[in-house]
Chain A
């Protein structure tokens, strides 16, 4: 039988076992060989824990309220984020893709799971699984509909395929009726999924830390 159902075990196994042992062994051996310093993994765990979509939301809210920053962000995503104190711990570039009334952007990594981690943290599981990766590039409209996102036919959908060296972040459309919102109130509206491009930003719902 060669049915090639590649996704039946894509979600991480929870029980401790072979891979817990392998992971611990790799770490210990690399430290024994003085390739890693003791504590380095722990320090990186702290870095990872410090990255959540709230950072991306802060960048988006600033771009919505500061036209000069918006321009700098679209010209050089990484530098503009660094200006706001968001450091890039990896060696990646960032392109920010601006949604407009006529263009909706969607981010995928067809080959694996590249993602703007310094700004959003680790990607959701569905982003790493085959259905999203396979379909985003060939039927984005139908895929977006499964997120409840209906993009009108006269709006172009652009799909950006990430690489290990270049990551993408969507700058969503600012919702109507938010003219009197502060930057913080605006940031509260911006969800992780909106910055991937699978949903839009809605003034009636708060992001609940997503």
Chain B
């Protein structure tokens, strides 16, 4: 049971020393979109648009529940979207429209 104090004392990423599930020596081959997401993170950092630390805080800002449900690169992609909205680079409506367009294109196989 997690008490309220724990939420006050630690943000979700701050897991050092916390009780944890059992350790397993897991390896994972990245999916193509995950590799691209990693490359995007590097490029955004080069352009001084989103630094590594900003990205980490962006993930933190998704909140414990979302962090718990998304995979590693899913969190990154979600954090990029939110950070780009905050910076005024993209708008939620613009992204939603683009996603519809991309989805339709993928469905059409072009």
- A interface with B by C-beta (< 8 Å): 2, 4-14, 16, 19-30, 33, 35-36, 40-42, 44-45, 47-48, 89-91, 108, 110-114, 122, 124-126, 128-138, 143, 146-147, 161, 164-165
A residues within 8 A CB of B64? Answer: 4, 6
B25 an interface residue at 8 Å Cβ cutoff? Answer: yes
- Chain B residues near A113 (CB, 8 Å)? 72
- Determine the chain A residues whose CB is within 8 A of the CB of B108 once the complex forms: none
Beyond A8-B68, A21-B106, 20 additional contacts (C-beta under 8 Å) are A5-B21, A7-B20, A9-B70, A12-B34, A13-B74, A14-B31, A22-B77, A23-B77, A26-B80, A26-B81, A35-B89, A48-B39, A90-B52, A110-B15, A113-B72, A124-B25, A130-B20, A131-B20, A134-B16, A147-B25
Q: Please tell me if the beta carbons of B102 and A24 are within 8 angstroms of each other in the complex.
A: yes
A112 touches B56 (CB 8 A): yes
Most A-side CB within 10 Å, residue of B30, B52, B103:
B52
Contact B72 A10 (CB under 8 A): yes
Distance in angstroms between the alpha carbons of A7 and B94 in the assembled complex = 32
Q: Within 8 Å CB of B49, what residues of A?
A: 35
User: Beyond A5-B21, A44-B43, is A28–B98 a contact (Cβ under 8 Å)?
Assistant: yes
Cα–Cα distance between A146 and B35 once the two chains are bound (Å) = 29
Chain B neighbourhood of A122, CB < 8 A: 30, 38
Q: Select from chain B the residue with minimum beta-carbon distance to A6.
A: B68
Q: Are A112 and B13 in contact (CB under 8 A)?
A: yes
Q: Which residues of A contact B80 (CB under 8 A)?
A: 26
Can you list 22 residue pairs at the A/B interface with Cβ under 8 Å?
A9-B69, A11-B72, A13-B31, A19-B73, A19-B77, A23-B33, A23-B36, A23-B40, A26-B90, A27-B40, A29-B90, A30-B89, A41-B36, A42-B39, A111-B13, A128-B72, A130-B20, A131-B21, A131-B22, A138-B17, A143-B23, A164-B53
A139 to B98, CA, bound (A): 47
User: Does the CB pair B17–A137 fall under 8 Å?
Assistant: yes
Q: Which residue of B lies closest to A17 (CB)?
A: B33
Enumerate chain B residues within 8 angstroms of A131, measured Cβ to Cβ. 20-24
